[in-house]
Amino acid sequence: MDSNFTSGSFGEIVVGFSKFHDYQPIPHHGSGYCKLYTVISGERKLFLKAVNGGSGCGAENLARLQREYKLLERLYGNEYIVRCIGWRNDAEVGPCIVMEYVDGMRLNDYFATKPSAKERKRILLELLDALEFIHDRQVVHNDLKLENILITNNGHSLKLIDFGYADSDANLDKATGGTKAFAAPELLQQEKTDCSSDIYSLGFIIKALFPHRYKLIAAKCLRKNPQKRYARVSEIRKAIHRRDVAKWLCLITLLLVLMIWNWLPQNCIENTEIQPVAQND
């Protein structure tokens, strides 16, 4: 194996992916600390996130990329989070994170395919699974938005990407940022952030997936006061379940009422005896 390729805790997963070719830059409209590429290794396409040395902050950008790599290493193993393969000091692009290539589209583009309500709910539950996983490991994404959620072309599974603004209690060199349209008020004010900040951003995504069905759940996520939001992702999952159960109970009740309503008049007529009217002499 190439000595420049560090596998971290991933062991043999990087064996056979040392020689890269066909570097293709990817347009990137986010933060300027990194450059993105796809490469080919053997017959497999991979994704590289490399340091942007031309932005005037080379050392700072390198520290930030290394920090992101350490966080991704902790998050390895969840099928709904982009899989980090390792760190590489690449001869072509310099220091970079090597990740799986996700063949898919961003969630905001996926809406154009008009997915069914069942499909959208599955995607929402997969996102909740990914968020619960990272929060259980004391990691906050801090840039949760439609563009950072990919839907694979094969199987339409969710992949959460871009942990450039992610945070952890273990980090001393914390980065602040995120996208203003989705960011929690405390994040924009550069105050202390925690899992509640991701829950705020999640509210916008729930609204995008279900403008009406879960609007009360989304509204609670989007409360400005973090103490008034859901405390954890598991509470949102339970609220969704309760709402859907209540919906089905209402439908079943309505059907029973209609059945009884249609049955009663006919049976009342059949069982009613017509009494003769008494006449006075």
Structure-derived torsion over alpha carbons of residues 239, 242, 246, 249, reported in degrees to the nearest 10:
160
C-beta atoms surrounding 15 within 10 Å = 10
Handedness of CA 90, 94, 98, 104 (dihedral sign): negative
Best CA proximity match to 172, nearest among 66, 87, 30: 66
Dihedral angle over CA of 241, 246, 248, 252, nearest 10 = 160
Q: Are 243 and 215 in contact (CB under 8 A)?
A: no
- Which residue bears the tokens 């209609």? 258
Q: What is the CB neighbour count within 10 angstroms for residue 212?
A: 7
Longest dimension (CA), the chain: 120
- In one letter, which amino acid is 231? A
Q: Decide: 87 and 93 in contact? Cβ < 8 Å.
A: no
Helix/strand/coil (H, E, C) string of 201-224?
Answer: HHHHHHHHHCCCCCHHHHHHHCCC
Beta-carbon contacts of residue 71 (< 8 Å; ≥ 6 apart): 139, 163, 166, 168, 171
| Residues carrying an active site annotation | 143
